[in-house]
Amino acid sequence: MRAVARPFRRLRRHLVVIAGLGTLAYLLLPNVIVTVFSFNKPAGRFNYEWREFSTDAWTHPCDVAGLCGSLSLSLWIALWATLGATLLGTLAAFALARHRFRGRGAASGLFFLPMAMPEVVMAASMATLFLNTGVAFGFWTILIAHITFCLSFVVTAVKARVASMDPRLEQAAQDLYATPFQTFLRVTLPIAAPGIAAGALLSFALSFDDFVITNFNAGSTVTFPMYVWGAAQRGTPVQINVVGTAMFAVAVLCVLAGQLAGRRKNRRRGSRRS
């Protein structure tokens, strides 16, 4: 009896591990497929079925018309959208987290609202504005739209960080002869920096990957997600998978390198301590 029961009990103990790893596999499976199919040599225009191994796409990533152009446009837009949203959002987050004033609740709600709205609604309403005011769709309309929806995320990230900061730190700085400006530069900003960086990173990722809002406000301008969308209708070049795989690899490597650097720093500290 016992001998039979034991494997079952062990299975039950590890059920959460098995289920969790199953979910992780579900999350990562598409990335595996994207990577594998970046080495495919499809027969037709669509890269959905495996045919044979090839590194053509990796050696000639820009051979497909428009792909690399759209990629650099997306990076460019993401960069400016990040700058704009981070600047506006950080200022607002400081006001909301640091000050008590009339209308604070309303302002806080206004900054939250864009996140609580389905993207398609925001996309259509912004396009309506541009149509009605006669603004030509293109780079600028995309940029404006991206800043608008990234703003909320920056405010949320920075606000959380600033709110958790001990106000006595700024008082201590002032007590130690730092003028208000020096206090901001030397204490407030460095301590808020991780929140600002998180907001900026999120903005960059959101802007770079945005399709819905861009779809409504781009006109004939083609960002990378727009390119992929078009490709899904006309034919998917393998180079799309190359870009996807490269982005995934770069992201994972960056994070792991950061972790490794942090760990080495800790180890150095640890050895000094002993």
Partner 1 sequence: MTTAAPAPAPVRETAPARSRSARRVPYRLLLPGILWLLLFFVAPLVYQASTSVQTGSLEDGFRVTWHFATYWDALSTYWPQFLRSIGYAAVATALCLLLGYPLAYLIAFRAGRWRTLLMVLVIAPFFTSFLIRTLAWKTILSDGGPVVGALDSLHVLGLTDALGVTEGHRLLATPLAVVCGLTYNFLPFMILPLYTSLERIDGRLHEAAGDLYAGPLTTFRRVTFPLSMPGVVAGTLLTFIPAAGDYINAELLGSPDQKMIGNVVQSQFLRVLDYPTAAALSFLLMAVILGMVTVYLRRAGTEDVV
Partner 2 sequence: MTATAPSGPGGSGTDVRLAGISKRYGAFTAVHPLDLTVPAGSFFALLGASGCGKTTTLRMIAGLETPTTGSVVLAGRDVTALPPYKRPVNTVFQSYALFPHLDIHENVAFGLRRRGVKSVRKQVGEMLDLVQLGDLARRRPHELSGGQQQRVAVARALINHPQVLLLDEPLGALDLKLRRQMQLELKRIQTEVGITFVHVTHDQEEAMTMADTVAVMNAGRVEQLGAPADLYETPRTTFVANFLGTSNLITADVLDASGDDLVLRAADGKLALPAARCQVPARAGDKILVGIRPEKIALTHADDAETVPDGRNRVRGRISSASFIGVSTQYLVDAPVATGTAGLSVYAQNVERDPRLVPGAEVLLHWNPGHGFGLDAAQRIEAGTDVDLGEAPS
Contact set with partner 2 (CB under 8 A): 166, 168-169, 171-180, 182-183, 186-187, 190-191, 193, 269, 272
Query: Binding to partner 1 (CB under 8 A): which residues in 119-138?
Result: 119-122, 124-129, 131-132
CB atoms within 10 A of CB 168: 9
Under the criterion CB under 8 A, does residue 189 sit at the interface with partner 1?
Answer: no
Among 9, 20, 72, 267, indicate the residue that binds partner 1 (CB under 8 A). Answer: 20
Facing residues of 40 across strands?
53
Under the criterion CB under 8 A, does residue 250 sit at the interface with partner 1?
Answer: yes
CB atoms within 10 A of CB 159: 25
Q: Closest approach of Cβ 266 to partner 1, in Å?
A: 13
- The Cα 186–Cα 179 span in angstroms is 10
User: Which residue is it, tokens 């407030």?
Assistant: 188
Tokens in use for 90? 């950080």
Q: Closest approach of Cβ 214 to partner 1, in Å?
A: 11
- The Cα 138–Cα 37 span in angstroms is 32
122 binds, among partner 1, partner 2, none (CB under 5 to 8 A by kind): partner 1
Q: Closest approach of Cβ 180 to partner 2, in Å?
A: 8
- The Cα 107–Cα 110 span in angstroms is 5
Please tell me whether residue 74 adopts helix, strand or coil conformation: helix
Tokens in use for 100? 């008590």
- The Cα 250–Cα 228 span in angstroms is 20
Contacts of 53 (CB under 8 A, 6+ apart): 39, 40, 41
Tell me the HSE value of 146 on the side-chain side, using a 13 A CA sphere: 33
Q: Closest approach of Cβ 87 to partner 2, in Å?
A: 22
175 binds, among partner 2, partner 1, none (CB under 5 to 8 A by kind): partner 2
> Is the separation of the CB atoms in 53 and 38 below 8 Å?
no
Query: Binding to partner 1 (CB under 8 A): which residues in 32-51?
Result: 33-34, 37, 48-49
Among 54, 56, 68, 112, indicate the residue that binds partner 1 (CB under 8 A). Answer: 112
For partner 1, the closer of residues 85 and 187 by Cβ is: 85
For partner 2, the closer of residues 8 and 181 by Cβ is: 181
Q: Closest approach of Cβ 91 to partner 1, in Å?
A: 5
Q: Closest approach of Cβ 272 to partner 2, in Å?
A: 8
Among 162, 173, 196, 228, indicate the residue that binds partner 1 (CB under 8 A). Answer: 228
